[in-house]
Structure 1
Amino acid sequence: MLKSVTNYIKERKSGLQRAAGYVGGAYLLGQYVLGRLQDVRTTVMQDRFARENLRRRFEQNQQDISFTVMALLPTLGRHILEGMDVEGVTSELQSYSKSAKTSTEPQIPISPSESSLTSSMELVSRPQHPDHSENSSFSMLQSVQENGVPTPTDLSASSASWVDQFSSMQSSELANGSTQDSSADGPNLQMPHLAADVPFYDSNPSTSTSSSSSTAPEPPAPENGHAHPIDTPARSKAELWKEVKILTFTRTLTIIYSMTLLTLFTHIQLTILGRSKYIHSVIQAEQEERMREQMMDASIFSLLWNVDDAEGTASQGVDVISEETERKYLTLSWWILHVGWKDVGERVRRGVEEVFEGVSLKTKFTINDLFRLVSDVRRRVEYEVTFEGHERRINFMSTLLPPTSETLHHVLTQGGVPAYIINASDSKFEALLSETRTHIMSASFQHVLEACLDQATETLFSGLRKTVFSSVIGPLSFEEHDDEVRERLAAMLPGLARWCHLALEGLPNEMVDNLSSLRETTALSAIIYSSYEDRFS
């Protein structure tokens, strides 16, 4: 039987060989396919994990940005509310009305326009809605600090920019200004307090102008030696009403611009830092994976050699930002919190005066009329006229960052950064500063800034709909309708003043939430966060 089996195999040897070849080839092909599928599955899983890690880190970074803006907002709000003291001028106006009844001085003839403003004051004092009498910012006079009220001369004493004044300071003045507050507590490493408890008139070596005249406890002595009279002449009721009108709109729009710029600047700062940490984590994970592979198939001597080589490569390729550099970079927010907002306030004040100067307080406006006036002010603030007569959009660079090395040194000093860290050479800090300027000058930033300002303006008018134009619905437009609700301009001032406090002190903060959740803002952060291709070597 065995012989018959052997003969059978010999007769069909060629066929069996072909069958064995087919089976073997099919097996090898199957193993190859399975191996490739496993590789693809591993690659897909790794790619999915990387995307999930990137998304998780980006979302966490966005939450950190909102938290940081809310942490910086009290400092900005305190400076704006003290520097543009609408409630103080209103208190003076009410005191003027009370003292006018008992005054024994000769009465000055009142012009028709002044008498009309007197009736407008009664309209503001009388609640427009049942819920306005108790919550009006004009009635909360007990919480206002007892500071002097700025006169029109003080408020318009200097047309020069705060940034220009800062840039023209001498190095000796900067050194003196730095030593005055050397006893102040410095900030922590990760979240600098930016000298929040140090008033600007103590830390700023430049001369005070309109924005800070109401915050100083007493006026500084003039440099020319001529003493100014302590008792300033009392302003008329018409001048006080004009000041309330101009200052209310100036403060409102200054808050819109300052909060928007602070939010975008914080987005740029923390997104750049978050991207650096993400790159470091990716390179570190890749190095750990390489070391695990080496431990599986390499000898101990080869392993030690490759580990040393990998560590040397890591030290050269990873873009690590030290805590000192990060602290210096985050301290740059001091500029907009203490100086930059004043520069914006001056531009806003000029625009408000040009638009609202001839507008009577008794004039009745619809919400669309007020929207057109505010849009006109915005155009004057955001654009400047060139020598050729064309309008050019400004970039707010001097508002967000110190323009000179001297002012940069002053910012870091006032922010609590030690002198040895400031004076040390730091190429990474210079790179961060250069990249920040590049993003601020980019067309993407200009587009996002315009979208954020539109959103902030919409938030303002959404609040006015609830407090002043309670029966108005529908979107804002430049078209006129006969059936729209009209209110006197004087009746809008309390609502604007209340909105300023709500925008700066509200929790949760509607303004910050709307700006941070805006699609354009998130897109700008995503562009910055994902621009790391050239950082891998």
Structure 2
Amino acid sequence: MLSGLASYFKERRSGLQRTAGYVGGAYLLGQYALGRLEDVRTTVMQDRSARDNLRRRFEQNQQDISFTVMALLPTLGRHILEGMDVEGVTCELQSYSKSAKSSSESPSAVPASESSLTSSMELVSKPHHPDHSENSSFSMLQSVEENGVATPTDLSASSASWVDQFSSMQSSQVANGSAPEVPPNGTNLQMPRLGADLGLSDSVLSTSTSSSSSVAPEASPPENGSAHTTDTPPKSKAELWKEVKILTFTRTLTIIYSMTLLTLFTHMQLSILGRSKYIHSIIQAEQEERLREQMMDASLFSLLWNGDVSEEAETQSAEVISEETERKYLTLSWWILHVGWKDVGERVRRGVEEVFEGVSLKTKFTINDMFRLVSDVRRRVEYEVTFEGHERRINFMSTLLPPTSETLHHVLTQGGIPADIVGALDPKFESLLSEARSHIMSASFQHVLEACLDQATETLFSGLRKHVFSGTSGPLNFEDNDEEVRERLAAMLPGLARWCHLALEGLPNEMVDNLSSLRETAAFSAIIYSSYEDRFS
């Protein structure tokens, strides 16, 4: 029987060998396919987990950005509202009108429109009366006399920007050895102190009092009349009317530019810091995974520890941003909050004066007419004429970042950074500062800035539609339409003044929400947040 079985296998040996080869090959192929499928499944799960982790971190970073902007906004709003005090000029005009009315022999000498204007402007400080509309408040403005608003005198413009004045002032301080003192409260801060307790330095305050382009005239009398006597004659009624008109539009557009630039700058700052923290977490997780694998294979532990792990440790240390460096980098926001907005306000003031100088308060406009005027002001603010006569778009670099090392030192000290930390060599901070400058100069930033300014302008005109041009609808354009609602320019001033307070103090803040939810803004943050390929190459 055994010999028969042996002869049977011997006769069919070749077929059995082929069959065994086929079965073995199929088994090995199946095992290989199962292994590859398991690898693919693991890779897909890891990629999905990495994408979810990246998305969660990015979304959390976006929420942190909105929170930071809202935390910085009160400081910016306080400076703009105090520096461009429309309500103060209105009270001065009201006082002028009351004194003129009491001293006049004829009670009809003072137009009723003046008291209507000033009483309407007072509504800005009383948000608990939403039922008062600007149209009803200005119902008497149709009786404004032409000689009261048509012949205002020209106001002097500042010859140097706030940034230039600030930079030259800081250079002179450094040359004289009178560097600003370090605040005693900056040692244990987790975030830079940019709130209401950080005021301008004495040098900046002295500069602000000498510029007439962005600081509103004082309406209240000085505390010590003998010490502050001046030979400057009081402004006439026409000059006050002109100042109310110019200052209202200047403050409105300054808020638009300042809030937009602050929002984009904060997006850029926190996206860079968030990217660094994300890279650090990835490298740390990879190191932990490698260590677990090394512990499973003790024979290769020494080789792996001396090789890949040391290189990754160097990469990780290069990506880590210390707490002191992070504080210094975040403190850069001090510049736009205290100085940069003045430079923007100066440019806006010049553009507003060029466009609205000869526009009478009695002139009636449609919302599209007003859009054309605001667009003209924006073009003058955002573009400058070169020596060749061509228009060139400005980059707002001096508005967002200190232009010199002296001003940078002043910003850090005023932000609460101790002097020993400010003067210490910090290559990582220099790298962050250089990257911030490169992003501001990039074409992507210019594109996003234009989109955000368009969105902010749309938010402004949405408020005008609601409170001034009741019943208007449709997109803003440059076409004329005789059927559109028309309102006097004077009737728009209270609405603009009220909108300024809502834009700066509203909760929830419509302006910040619209800018943060803009597709271009999120894309700009995503580009910065995901630009880490070169760090793993």
TM-score surpassing 0.5? yes
Deviations 1:495-525 (A, max 9, x none): 0000000000001100001001111111111
Number of equivalences: 507
| 2:173 aligned partner | 173
1:155 to 1:482, Cα distance in 2 relative to 1, 3 A: closer
Q: Hey, what does 1:133 align to over in structure 2?
A: 132
1:314 equivalenced with 2:312 (yes/no): yes
**CA 1:154–1:81 in structure 2 vs 1: closer, same or farther (change >3 Å)?**
farther
Contact 1:335 1:411 survives alignment (8 Å): yes
Aligned partner of 1:303 in structure 2 is 301
Supply the distance in 2 between the matched residues of 1:285 and 1:206 (Cα, whole angstroms).
53
Residue in 2 that maps onto 1:146? none
Residue 120 of structure 1 contacts residue 490 of structure 1 at CA under 8 Å; is this kept in 2?
A: no
- Single out whichever of 233-242 and 454-463 deviates more from structure 2: 233-242
In structure 2, the CA distance between the partners of 1:23 and 1:216, relative to structure 1 (3 Å rule), is farther
Say whether 1:263 aligns with 2:263.
yes
Deviation sequence 1:81-122 (CA, Å, 0-9, x none): 000000011111111111112237x99xx9xxxx7xx45425
- Distance in 2 between residues matched to 1:216 and 1:26, nearest whole Å: 94
Structure-2 separation of matches of 1:219 and 1:166: 26
Distance (whole Å) between structure 2 residues aligned to residue 199 and residue 467 of structure 1: 34
What's the counterpart of residue 35 of structure 2?
35
CA pair 133-507 structure 1, distance change in 2 beyond 3 A: same
- Native 8 Å contact 1:162 1:342 kept in 2: yes
Indicate yes or no: 2:114 matched with 1:121: yes
| Cα distance in 1 between the residues matched to 2:535 and 2:120 | 61
1:203-248, Cα deviation, whole Å (9 max, x unpaired): 637622233465899999xxxxxx9733642222111111000000
Q: Is the 8 A contact 1:412 1:422 kept in 2?
A: yes
Aligned pair 1:199/2:199, yes or no?
A: yes
Is 2:7 the counterpart of 1:7? Answer: yes
2:361 matched to which residue of 1?
361
- Structure 2: tracts of 5 or more residues without a match: 124-128, 139-151
- AA aligned to 1:355 is V
| Identical pairs, percent | 78
Gapped runs of 5+ residues in structure 1?
A: 140-151, 221-226
Measured on the aligned residues, the alpha-carbon RMSD in Å equals 3.1
1:344/1:399 contact within 8 Å kept: yes
Moved more, 24-33 or 198-207: 198-207
Q: Which amino acid aligns with 2:273?
A: L
TM-score for both structures, normalised by structure 2: 0.87
Query: Partner amino acid for 1:312?
Result: S
Name the CA shift for 1:126/1:200 in 2 (closer, same or farther; >3 Å). Answer: closer
Quickly say closer, same or farther: Cα 1:155–1:71, change in 2 above 3 A.
farther
User: What is the CA–CA distance in structure 2 between the aligned matches of 1:268 and 1:248, rounded to whole Å?
Assistant: 30
1:384/1:153 CA distance change after superposition, 3 Å: same
Which residues in structure 2 correspond to 1:331-410 (within 5 Å)? 331-410=331-410
The 2-side partners of 1:249 and 1:373 are apart by: 11
Partner of 1:483: 483
Residue of structure 2 in register with 1:276 after alignment: 276
Shift of 1:155: 7.3
- Decide whether aligned partners of structure 1 residues 162 and 16 sit closer, same or farther in structure 2, where only a CA change above 3 A counts: same
Separation of aligned partners in 2, 1:358 and 1:490: 14
Deviations 1:31-71 (A, max 9, x none): 11111111111111111111111111111111111111111
Which whole-Å deviations, capped at 9, do the CAs of 1:257-292 have from their partners, x for residues lacking one? 000000001111111111111111111111111111
Task: Report how far residue 314 of structure 1 moved.
Answer: 3.2
Q: 2:228 & 2:190 partners in 1: Cα distance? A: 46
Q: Does the C-alpha gap of structure 1 residues 201 and 183 become closer, same or farther in structure 2, counting only changes over 3 Å? A: closer
Report the AA paired with residue 82 of structure 1: E
Counterpart AA for 1:423: G
Query: Is the 2:258–2:344 contact (alpha carbons within 8 Å) kept by the matching residues of 1?
Result: yes
Check the 8 A contact 2:134/2:492 in 1, yes or no.
Answer: no
Matching of residue 324 in structure 1 with residue 313 in structure 2: no
Q: Quickly say closer, same or farther: Cα 1:29–1:449, change in 2 above 3 A.
A: same
* Residues 1:217 and 1:431: Cα distance change in structure 2 (over 3 Å): farther
Letter in 2 for 1:121: E
Using the TM superposition, name which of 154-163 and 273-282 deviates more.
Answer: 154-163
Q: CA deviation at 1:172?
A: 5.7
The DSSP-based 3-state class of the residue aligned with 2:392 is strand
- Name the CA distance, whole Å, in 2 between partners of 1:206 and 1:311: 57
Contact kept, 8 Å, 1:257 with 1:344, in 2: the verdict is yes
In the alignment, the residues of structure 1 paired with residue 383 and residue 298 of structure 2 have an alpha-carbon distance, to the nearest angstrom, of 66
Q: Distance in 2 between matches of 1:134 and 1:40?
A: 65
CA deviation after TM superposition for structure 1 residue 13, in Å: 2.3
Q: Compared with structure 1, are the counterparts of its residues 24 and 304 closer, same or farther at alpha carbon in structure 2 (3 Å cutoff)?
A: closer
Deviations 1:455-512, CA, capped at 9 Å, x for gaps: 0000000001110011111111111111110111111000000000000000110000
CA spacing shift, 1:329–1:495, aligned 2, 3 Å:
same
C-alpha separation in 2, matches of 1:160 and 1:240: 24
CA deviation map 1:409-461 (0-9, x unaligned): 00001000011111110111111111111110111111111110000000000
Contact 1:355 1:373 in 2 (8 A): yes
Which residue of structure 1 lines up, in the alignment, with residue 472 of structure 2?
472
The residue type equivalent to 2:324 in the other structure is E
Once the two structures are TM-superposed, the CA of residue 171 in structure 1 deviates from its matched residue by 4.3
Q: 3-state DSSP class of the match of 1:200?
A: coil
Query: Secondary structure, in 3 states, of the residue corresponding to 2:180?
Result: helix
Q: Which residue of 2 aligns with 1:81?
A: 81
1:176-197 residue CA offsets vs partner (Å, 9 max, x unmatched) = 4622xx4453275442122631
| Partner residue in 2 for 1:51 | 51
- Distance verdict in 2 for CA 1:155–1:418, change over 3 Å: farther
Distance 1:308 1:121 in 2: 83
Contact 1:367 1:486 in 2 (8 A): yes
Separation in structure 2 between the aligned mates of residue 217 and residue 73 of structure 1, nearest angstrom: 26
- 1:443 aligns with 443
8 Å Cα contact 2:183/2:414 also seen in 1: no
Q: Which residue of 2 aligns with 1:144?
A: none
How far, CA to CA, are the matches of 1:238 and 1:327 in structure 2?
49
Task: Give yes or no for contact 1:82–1:215 (8 Å, CA) kept in 2.
Answer: no
Q: In structure 2, do the counterparts of structure 1 residues 334 and 363 end up closer, same or farther at CA, with 3 Å as the change threshold?
A: same
Distance 2:436 2:94 in 1: 47
Contact between 1:340 and 1:399, CA under 8 Å: does it hold in 2? yes
Q: How big is each residue's C-alpha offset from its partner over 1:279-336, in whole Å with a ceiling of 9 and x where there is no partner? A: 111111111111111111224xx53564365553234212111111111100000000
| SS of equivalent to 1:475 | coil
Aligned-partner Cα distance in 2 for 1:216–1:96:
11
Structure 2 CA distance for partners of 1:392 and 1:288, relative to 1, 3 Å: same
Q: 2:525 is aligned with what amino acid?
A: S
Q: Is the 8 A contact 1:75 1:196 kept in 2?
A: yes
